Structure 1
């Protein structure tokens, strides 16, 4: 979200548990929805975990290198994502409180009714 500070990529965070999140993830088994992050691409296809990296990279200005790596070595990106996701509590402890506050504020701003990005 910080990479897209000007909102050019139209990234719109949606809580998985929200009605909209449930609607967007209708094709994902309920027991898998909270296990990973998901991105619904411009084509409406749901991409989950490491597979979402290429989609987000494609949407971000300057994200081409990220997209290329994700497409050239998807197994590596999936593995890296899996390690981070499996250790999210530990990883979260390394994120400064101020950064978490900024992220929360940006998520709230972007998910406010009437905003598209």
Structure 2
């Protein structure tokens, strides 16, 4: 596993840091309450703001997730329009990819084997 995956991994304008690996290793399905209990203190970074996972998930409409990509998407949606606009103008082409972009899981958000 590379340091890129562990470190400052940025997905659609959000830097997840070590939370990405934790979410990939977690057992699914998982409830929002369980994610908040275990990872609520993790900080999510954008160029605009920093926000705790707990705060972002409070704005989430879902109550349960079946895979890491669903958590990622809910977090990005919760962080709002500024984050999506930032990702769209990032210019590197990596930030705007969707889970179903034909990469076969190459986006790094599939579950890790435990």
Higher helix residue share: 1
Larger Rg: 1
**TM-score, normalised with respect to structure 2:** 0.31
**TM-score, normalised with respect to structure 1:** 0.30
Higher strand residue share: 2
